[in-house]
Amino acid sequence: MFWDKLKESYIRLFRRKLAGAGADALPQLAFLGLISGALTAGVILIFRYALEWPLAYFLPDQNAENFEGLPWLIRGALPLSGAVIIGLIWYKLQISQRKTGVAYVMERLGYHQGYITFRSALTQFFAGIVTIGSGQSAGREGPAIHLGAACASLLGQKMKLPNNSIRTLVGCGTAAAISSSFDTPIAGVIFAMEVVMMEYTIAGFIPVMLASVTATTLIRALDIHRPLFDNPITQMTTLWELPYIAALGLIIGCAAALFITILKIGARQSDKPIEWRLIIAGLITGCCAIVVPEVRRAP
Phi-psi region of 116 (alpha: psi -120 to 50; beta: other; left: phi over 0): beta
Predicted local confidence at residue 295, as pLDDT: 67
pLDDT tens, position by position, 35-78 = 999 999 999 988 888 888 888 778 777 777 778 778 888 888 88
In angstroms, rounded to a whole number, what is the distance separating the alpha carbons of residues 233 and 146?
A: 33
Alpha-carbon gap, residue 114 to 151, rounded angstroms: 11
This prediction has a pTM of 0.82
151 CB-near residues (< 8 Å, 6+ apart) = 36, 39, 40, 43, 121, 173
Q: What is the pLDDT of residues 8-25, one digit of tens each?
A: 665 666 666 666 655 667
The residues, ordered by sequence, that sit 6+ positions from 142 with a Cβ below 8 Å of its Cβ are 100, 101, 102, 128
pLDDT of residue 17: 65
Confirm if 238 and 62 have CB atoms less than 8 A apart.
no
